[in-house]
Amino acid sequence: MDNQKPVSPAKPAKPAKPAKPAKPERPCPICKKPSAQKLHPFCSRRCADVDLNRWLTGVYAIPVSDPEPDMIPGEDDHWGDR
């Protein structure tokens, strides 16, 4: 008598899904590079300085010679709406 049953697998192995982060990391607001965890949300101390300088002076003028290609002209036109 052949009493041996073939071993049936209990469950098929699920393919491991790559863990996706819930929300995408915010890039550096200054140069749009991936931000450093330590200096969040900036990528470097220099960019943090630039942003701080912007707040202090109240103008969006960059003291460093870093060209910002994606500046949208007329973005704050909503001010004189009323």
Binding site for Zn ion (CB under 5 A): 28, 30-31, 33, 43, 47
Q: How far is the CB of 42 from Zn ion (least distance, A)?
A: 5
**Which residue from 65, 75, 68 is spatially nearest to 29, judged by alpha carbons?**
68
Q: Which helix (H) or strand (E) holds 51?
A: helix 45-57
Kindly tell me which of 26 and 57 has the beta carbon lying closer to Zn ion: 26
Q: How far is the CB of 53 from Zn ion (least distance, A)?
A: 13
Kindly tell me which of 2 and 27 has the beta carbon lying closer to Zn ion: 27
Residue 38 CA to residue 44 CA, distance in Å, equals 9
Kindly tell me which of 18 and 30 has the beta carbon lying closer to Zn ion: 30
Q: How far is the CB of 67 from Zn ion (least distance, A)?
A: 13
Instruction: Output the CA–CA distances (angstroms, integers) from residue 39 to 44, 57, 67, in the order listed.
Output: 6, 21, 21
